[in-house]
A = this chain, B = another copy of it.
Amino acid sequence: MKLTIQEVAQKAGVGVGTVSRVLNNHKSVRPETRERVQAAMNEMGFVPNPHARRVAGGKSYTVSIILQVIGTEFYLRLLNGLEKTLETHRYDSALFPLIGRERIERYLNSSTLAYQSDGIVMATHNLGELYPDGKLPTRQPVVIVDGLNEHYDSVYLDNRFGGELAARALSGFEGEIYAISVHQDIDEVFAKTVFDERIEGFKAALEEAGKPLLESHVSTVSFNLDNARIAAKEILENTTIPVNIFAAADLVALGVLEEAARLNLEVGRDVRVIGFDDHPWSAERGLTSVHQPVEAMGAAAAELLVDRLSGYDGAPRKVRFEPRLVERASTLHSED
């Protein structure tokens, strides 16, 4: 039932070494030979045994992904980007959703688990809070994604710039300007400064445009739709129309859209809204949003780590991703 590399070799009429080389994308295999081996593997439905590979190779070919899985679309997309890219390099990924301090410590102290991964991808984590020197107590290569750390390769989005984009788009319109930010839960291990950065950029660019944002026009909600709607209601019922709102996350912007609909306000004319994320559903909803290439960021982080695992040992690299504004109906005058 279980096929081995031996049987593939026999069927393809080559040696086991060659099959292994095909499996690992070694350059020194004649294209024609490679094809023959691949055909044999496909035909037989051969799947290599990862455990044997690990013992022979002396590595685990596994990467730990440490994140705060709060079930948001952002992390789901990030994960998809990470896993997909790791897979192409034949790395497995092990997930460590670190809800709570106890768990992160347990993971880092466990000799069993440490054995199992060759590197770590850490998402959205400000290590400074947990470890004064900003370093994880491990020798494994570490890559930070959706965050910035001076000791490790980092992949980050320029959230501030994203806020600026939103400001430039809204400042030209008639009407008051509001912003809704998102606050993090107090006891989170993960420090999430991204929302603050977005709002900061927004404020700065408005200031520059000569339309400074009033402090009273900034509200902060926790990350869920219900609260977003409450904040939106508060704004929409106590201001003059038209009004322009920047939401620090698409989910929050959705709350504004829903509340506007309930109040029979026309989005794009009475209420203009810009979200942040540009999640797939934003297009359907006609929501203008600051786009961030989440999957690509995951992929970039994966590449950075694989690179380290393949021997690269230079200084920490920083990969900056730049958001861009995707304009849709929610910031356009409707022509009817």
Contact = CB atoms under 8 A, between A and B. Distances in A.
Interface of A: 47, 49-52, 54-55, 60, 68-71, 76, 87, 92, 94-97, 99-100, 103, 111-112, 115-116, 222, 224, 226-227, 230
A100 B116 contact: no
Given A54-B54, A76-B99, 6 more contacts: A69-B71, A69-B97, A70-B71, A71-B71, A71-B97, A71-B99
A67 B111 CA distance: 25
Given A71-B99, A96-B95, A116 B222 contact: no
Given A99-B71, A103-B76, A226-B227, A55 B49 contact: yes
* 3 A-B pairs closest in CB distance: A51-B54, A51-B55, A69-B69
Number of copies: 2
Contacts of A47: 111-112, 115
Contacts of A51: 51, 54-55, 60
A55 B70 CA distance: 35
A49 B76 CA distance: 32
A336 B72 CA distance: 47
A39 to B, nearest CB: 18
Contacts of A60: 51
Contacts of A95: 94-97
Contacts of A87: 112
Contacts of A50: 112, 115-116
Contacts of A69: 69, 71, 97, 99
Contacts of A54: 51, 54
A90 to B, nearest CB: 9
A54 B54 CA distance: 10
Contacts of A116: 50, 92
Contact of A226 (B92, B96, B222): B222
Nearest to A57: B51
13 contacts: A47-B111, A47-B115, A51-B54, A51-B55, A54-B54, A69-B69, A70-B70, A76-B103, A94-B94, A95-B95, A95-B97, A226-B227, A227-B227
A76 B94 contact: no
A61 to B, nearest CB: 9
A52 B47 CA distance: 18
Nearest to A45: B111
A222 to B, nearest CB: 6
